[in-house]
Amino acid sequence: MKRLILEQSTRSGSLAVMEEGRSLLSRAWTEDRFHTQQMFGVLAEVLAVEVARLETLDSFGVGLGPGSYSGMRMALTAVRGLALPSEREVYGVSSAEALAWDEFQRTSADRVMVLGDARRERCWRVGYERGNGLPVRCTEWELVPQVDCFSGVPPGARWVSPDWERLAPQIGAAASRAAVDWADAVRIPTAEAVGGLIEARQRVGVASDPLEPLYLHPAVTVAPRY
């Protein structure tokens, strides 16, 4: 089973072609505008490489966020378009779950809290426990004020964030109070982590998450006009 995976929930987008959990090829880029330009350029270049020829791809994977709306939408639309004509599989997972999975592979942590910038002085957060090969979500998806972003969580969790650098000035003091070590907490979800998690989930028969970006915010916060 050969799969092409796109992950673009942060400005650091990435692409990987993986087979049986092994990465055959990967690319990374940094988007600065609208998330349309570089991803498709990289995609075109990669599809011309022998190991990534479209006819050889059985499946497509995508990180569903949370994160940049434009980035998630572009990546999801791209894989669905590539998969459509021959009805190939598209498998989506949360980028936060991919981060947690990656963290469980690399460390001995038993619990990982993922924290992200939800703008307007708020953070989103979600927690996972080390399960039997797969992360098990142990909290709700939450939107919390930045000042409280470490509150209400039992101590001992390993905190990671794709947005740590942007958040640090606002939540640095709160991190010190909660005794969270954020010197080594910056983690960017990658296509390889997304691909690894998909592989692990499929091994135990877990289906794709619904193929829509994880928005967390409602589409509209203003009341209807009448």
Partner 1 sequence: MIVLGIETSCDETSAALVRAGREVLSQVIFSQVALHRPYGGVVPEIASRNHVEKIMPVISEARAQAGLDWDRIDRIAVTSGPGLASALMIGVAAAKSLSLRLQRPLVAINHIEAHLYSAFLDPAAPDPAAACPLLVLIVSGGHTCLVRMSKPGVYRLIGQTIDDAAGEAFDKGANLLGLGYPGGPAIDRAAQNGNTQAIRFPRGLTRRPHHHDPTHDLLCLSFSGLKTSLLYHLKDHPLVPGDSRLADLAASYQEAIVDSLVRRTDDALRDEPYLAVVGGVSLNRRLREQMTALAARRRVRLLMAPPTFCADNAAMIAGLAGSPAFAKQPERLPMDLDVDPSLELNFNLSSATLT
Partner 2 sequence: MKTDFPVAGTLYETKTPEETWAVAEQLAACLPVRAVLALHGELGAGKTCFVQGLARALGILRPITSPTFTLVQEYRGSRRLVHMDLYRIGSPDELLHLGFEDYLQEDGVLAIEWAERAGDLLPPDTRHLYFALQADQGRHTIRIG
Closest approach, Cβ 205 to partner 1, in A, equals 25
Give the C-alpha separation, 74 to 149, whole Å.
29
3-state secondary structure of 106: helix
> Is residue 28 part of the contact set for partner 1 (CB under 8 A)?
no
Closest approach, Cβ 38 to partner 1, in A, equals 9
The footprint of partner 1 on this chain (CB under 8 A) covers a number of residues equal to 31
What secondary structure does DSSP assign to 159-206, as a single string?
Answer: EEBTTHHHHHHHHHHHHHHTT---TT-B----HHHHHHHHHHHHHTTP
Is residue 66 reached through a cis peptide bond, with omega within 30 degrees of 0 on the bond before it?
A: yes
> Is residue 179 part of the contact set for partner 1 (CB under 8 A)?
no
3-state secondary structure of 44: helix
Closest approach, Cβ 226 to partner 2, in A, equals 15
Residue 47 binds which one of partner 1, partner 2, none, with CB within 5 to 8 A depending on kind?
Answer: partner 1
Closest approach, Cβ 55 to partner 1, in A, equals 11
> Is residue 84 part of the contact set for partner 1 (CB under 8 A)?
yes
Residue 43 binds which one of partner 2, partner 1, none, with CB within 5 to 8 A depending on kind?
Answer: partner 1
Residue 121 binds which one of partner 2, partner 1, none, with CB within 5 to 8 A depending on kind?
Answer: partner 2
Contact string (CB under 8 A) for partner 1, positions 34-53, x = contact: x-xx--xx-xx--x------
Provide the residue type at 99 as one letter: L
**Cβ pair 146, 123 in contact under 8 A:** yes
> Is residue 56 part of the contact set for partner 1 (CB under 8 A)?
no
**Residue 185 backbone dihedrals phi, psi, to 5 degrees:** -115, -5
